[in-house]
Amino acid sequence: MQGAEFWKSKITESLKNAYIEKPEDADYSHLYDAAAETLRGILAEKYSTSAARHSSRGEKRVYYMSMEFLMGRSLRNNLHNLGYTKDFEKAIKSFGADPELVYAQEPDAGLGNGDLGRLAACFLDGLATIGKPAMGYSICYEYGIFRQKLTEGWQTEKPDDWLPGGKAWLAEKREHAVEVRFGGEIEESWYDGFHQILHKNYDSVLAVPYDMYVPGFEGNDVSRLRLWQAESSGIDMELFNRGLYAEAMRKNSEAKAISSILYPNDNHPDGKTLRLKQQYFLVCSSIADIVRRHLAAYGTLENLAEKAAIHINDTHPTMAIPELMRILLDECGYSWEKSADICFNLFSYTNHTVLPEALERWDCGMFRWLLPRVYGIICEFDRRLRITLREKGFSDAEISRMAIVENGEIRMANLCVFATHSTNGVSEHHLTVMENSVFADLYRAFPERFSSVTNGIAARRWLCAANPELTKFVKKYSAKDFEKNYEKMYLLEKHANDSAVLEELGKVKLKRKEIFAKANRDVMGNKLDPSSLFDVQAKRLHEYKRQHMNALRIISLLNEIEANPNADIDPKTFIFGAKAAPGYYVAKRIIRLIWCIGKELSESALKDRLKLCFLENYSVTTSEMLMPAADISEQISLAGTEASGTGNMKLMLSGAVTLGTLDGANVEILREVGEENFLRFGMNSDEVDALRLRGYDPMEYIEKNDELKAALDRMRHGIAGEDFSDLADLIEGKDFYMAAADFESYMDIQRKAQELFRDKETWNRMALMNIAKSPVFFVDRTVQEYCDRIWNM
Ligand code: 26W
């Protein structure tokens, strides 16, 4: 059976089995369940065919380890990649139902904080599309990234209980469960010439895998994401028999706690024991799984690095290295040199942040208590690194800066650089920043290990599934098969001077703005105006991303119009989406500030000219709605702070023009589109460094700029009745991310943007050029580079 009939019969059958009901009587959540179940079955089958094909050819496989995979929804995307969308929607309509409402049933799999997790998710799509065998490993958090609730602009966090709707995509594989051990003591002895390690008095936890399948475009290959859930390894009968029931139960719930919740911090480690347990839980179970698979295929670990590549997504899964060392040394009896050599060739690492406070360090005392054997192995790596560095002629001071274990702490990034063959940045600019700042010493010691691969996005999700209107346009003016041969999108460029085509593109954008406006309202519930300029800043809230600088700019516009109602300011809609880490107070204050500005705008006489919309609970799904509607993409981090960004790429692909600094991947976006299609402002990272060196005083800038001074004064006197002196103090005091220094240039470029937006043809041409030049930022290119240069596949 084929086409819509196939879907009709599958959904009918599934509803009959699960709920004894007919499709016509089923509610939307049941229709969603039936659709997901059907698709999961198809994917499981496709996965096993594709895995068998790769194995029979003895192909090398990549294992991508990450504490985060921000998958979002699956139904629409999977249907799209498999080419089933039309038939599926036809079947749903034949039941008298609306496919959009079926899609809307699905919760986001929000197993990540932001870009790092979303990148991992895009990688699985890209790897399956280019036909490389890939497995992701992560944790099956019971609660993903919190749901953000805004009450009068104050963020509160609600638990994200995603599994009831999300488990439809998960296949339990209990037969591959693994025991993970914590605590206890290590006893060493020599027996028969062999070094014996005995681990005693440990606590054990069971890791049970749940698999999620991710199809590539056209569905021939499927990646697998294996998510581990923690269970207690059974009631402790010894405690139970002694009548210590509460103690027996406590161990049970301590085990489950490991996979209960995603840490909501982004760029800020909190050093808690539970987080360390989560990390070890992930790597111990995943390494055991990889070893089991490899032994089943080859019967030895000698050739592990030839047949597998393991990638460490930021330092969070670094313990995978000492964990595999433990197996090679203690269980296989290999020498240190041989084991370390296997690890060196097998592992590679990507760094995703250069903020010094975000680099992971663990307290030795806690670490040793929780993971005694892994700790011992890390100390041996440290000892050998010091010897290597001494041989290379580094001084004691330099060695202590580069050491792995120092000042009672373990530095995970240093272990990665030393123990793996490849340390990567996520954009060209990021690599330069790494080499000049946090990794400067290690770069001098091991320059050949450093490289960068610029991030990418799954265009199938962010263009084809999310924006059918633009997809149709791209197909019409570039090539029908651009999804497979994405370079063909460059063909769009030849229409850059065709007024009719540009006008058509303008209409597509307007349509998407209308759709967005219909679904969203401003801060006070008023309708948005699709003809106004949609100015979008959507990303995690962090001072380095400078949402507060954007806020200062809007306050300035408010001041300007109040002083002169005829001021030259066109209608604008400021759209923000951002979650703050729950413990990050300043970030929460900035959200409140933005919300208060929106309130003040909506209550003033300007409410038809300037509107502010703060999207609650910004997520993969809300961003799929938002990106297609954007005119301007605000990428305004202080140069040298944003490693890459991928939101900038999604917005570019959607025809938004980047207004940004020379930071992260913006640098490459600018190179692709050219100065005339990019709104550049601000200091570059050399200027930032020079200014810091000279001694930065924000007051020097504030005193010279009346607009900025007035905006700060207004914060002190109250926005919508609330005093924001606390935030004004931060800007006038340290202004760590130099908003004051870049403010003037930011205002200038905003004025230029308004002028360009007035001329519709010019603007549409800029949009077209951004779309046409976006293919280099597709994840297929990114993963291909990883395969060629890093994983040697
Ligand atoms: C342990 C606390 C913690 C949690 C998350 C520290 C650091 C992180 C991440 C590495 C932060 C992150 O998501 N970085 C982002 O990674 C993206 C993907 O490469 C880049 O596009 C972003 O620029 C970078 O901020």
Over the Cα atoms of the chain, what is R_g?
Answer: 27
Q: Which residues contact 680 (CB under 8 A, 6 or more apart)?
A: 660, 661, 662, 670, 749
Cα angle for residues 621, 626, 631 (degrees, 5° grid): 160
Q: How far is the CA of 115 from the centre of ligand 1 (A)?
A: 6
Q: How far, in Å, CA of 576 to CA of 419, rounded? A: 41
Q: Convert the pLDDT of each residue in 352-365 to its tens digit.
A: 999 999 999 999 99
Taking the centre of ligand 1 as the mean of its atom positions, its distance from the CA of residue 342, in whole angstroms, is 28
* Percent helix / strand / coil, the chain, rounded to 5: 55, 15, 30
Q: Is the CB of 622 inside a 6 Å radius of any atom of ligand 1? A: no
Report the 10 Å Cβ neighbour count for 742.
22
Nearest CA to ligand 1 atom 3: 267
Task: Assess whether 752 carries a catalytic annotation.
Answer: no
Whether residue 2 is predicted with pLDDT greater than 80 in this model: the reply is no
Q: Is the CB of 652 inside a 6 Å radius of any atom of ligand 1?
A: no
**Residue 357 buriedness (CB in 10 A; 0-12 / 13-18 / 19+):** exposed
Q: Is 539 assigned a catalytic role?
A: yes
CB-ligand 1 contact for 153 (6 Å cutoff): no
Three-state DSSP string of 383-409? HHHHHHHHHCCCCHHHHHHHCCEECCE
Among 61, 80, 352, 373, the one annotated catalytic:
352
CA distance 577 to 617: 7
**Closest Cα partner for 34 from 114, 83, 92?**
92
pLDDT of residue 714: 98
What is the CA(541)–ligand 1 centre distance, in A?
Answer: 12
* Its pTM surpasses 0.85: yes
pLDDT of residue 192: 79
- Dihedral of CA atoms 652, 105, 174, 124 in degrees, nearest 10, equals -10
Structure tokens at 634: 């605000």
Residue 236, pLDDT above cutoff 80: no
Q: How far is ligand 1, taken at its centre, from the CA of residue 366, in Å?
A: 25
Helix/strand/coil (H/E/C) assignment for every residue in 250-315: HHHHHHHHCCCECCCCCCCCCCCHHHHHHHHHHHHHHHHHHHHHHHHHHCCCCCHHHHEEEEEECC
Is the Cβ atom of 266 under 6 angstroms away from ligand 1?
yes
373, 539, 611, 765: which is the annotated catalytic residue? 539
| Ligand 1 contact, 354 CB (< 6 A) | no
Distance of CA 371 to the CA centre of its chain: 28
Element (H, E) at 436: helix 428-436
For residue range 73-106, list pLDDT tens digits in order: 999 999 999 999 999 999 999 999 999 999 999 9
Please name the residue that has the structure tokens 């490693």.
Answer: 643
Whether residue 315 is predicted with pLDDT greater than 80 in this model: the reply is: yes
Is-catalytic flag, 90? Answer: no
Average pLDDT on 260-286 reads: 94
Sequence-ordered list of residues with C-beta below 8 angstroms from that of 100, at least 6 positions apart, any chain:
none
Distance from the alpha carbon of residue 314 to the mean position of ligand 1, in angstroms: 8
Please give the number of the atom of ligand 1 that sits closest to the Cα of 117.
13
Give, using CA atoms, the residue closest to atom 1 of ligand 1. 269
The catalytic position among 8, 226, 545, 572 is: 545
Token pair for residue 122? Answer: 């895009």
In order of 202, 208, 320, the CA distances from 286 in angstroms are: 20, 11, 8
- Indicate the residue type of 503: E
Q: What is the bridge-based pairing of β-strands 308-313 and 361-363?
A: unpaired
Cα distances from 343 to residues 45, 181, 643, 696, in angstroms, run 33, 22, 27, 44
User: Taking the CA of residue 621 as centre, how many other CA atoms within 13 Å lie in the half-sphere pointing to its CB?
Assistant: 18
Return the beta strands (E) in 115-202 as ranges. 134-139, 147-151, 154-158, 171-172, 178-182, 185-191, 194-200
Please give the structure tokens belonging to residue 51.
């895995």
CA 82 to chain centre: 24
Q: Write the Ramachandran bin of 109: left for phi over 0, alpha for psi from -120 to 50, otherwise beta.
A: beta
- Contact yes or no for 230/207 (Cβ under 8 A): yes
What pLDDT was estimated at residue 169?
A: 98
Residue 484 has pLDDT above 90, yes or no: no
**Annotated catalytic residue 548:** no
* 284-307 confidence digits (pLDDT tens): 999 999 999 999 999 999 999 999
Helix (H) or strand (E) holding 613: strand 610-615
Cβ density class 123-162: b for 16+ within 10 Å, e for less: bbbbbbbbebbbbbbbbbbbbbbbbbebeebebeeeebeb
Q: How many residues does the chain have?
A: 793
Output the pLDDT for position 604: 86
- Chain segment 603-637, per-residue pLDDT in tens: 988 888 999 999 999 999 999 999 999 999 999 99
Q: Look-up: residue for tokens 């032994």? A: 295
Distance CA 503, CA 523 (A): 31
For residue 352, indicate whether it is catalytic: yes
Q: Kindly tell me the sign of the dihedral angle through the C-alpha atoms of 44, 45, 47, 48.
A: positive
Predicted local confidence at residue 646, as pLDDT: 98
User: Which ligand 1 atom lies nearest to the CA of residue 664?
Assistant: 23
pLDDT score of 34? 97
Q: Ligand 1: distance of its center to the CA of 66 in Å? A: 12
H or E element in which residue 767 lies: helix 760-772
Q: Is the pLDDT of residue 670 over 80?
A: yes
Which residue from 627, 665, 620 is spatially nearest to 112, judged by alpha carbons?
620
pLDDT at 168 over 90: yes
What residue's CA is closest to ligand 1, atom 22? 645
Label residues 271-288 b or e (16+ Cβ within 10 Å = b). Answer: eeeebbbbbbbbbbbbbb
Q: So what's the pLDDT on residue 400?
A: 98
Q: Which helix (H) or strand (E) holds 363?
A: strand 361-363
CB 647 within 8 A of CB 660: no
Residue-wise pLDDT for 680-700, tens only, equals 999 999 999 999 999 999 999
Res 238 pLDDT > 80: no
Task: Calculate how far, in angstroms, residue 189's C-alpha sits from the geometric centre of ligand 1.
Answer: 43
Is residue 619 in contact with ligand 1, taking CB distance under 6 Å?
Answer: no
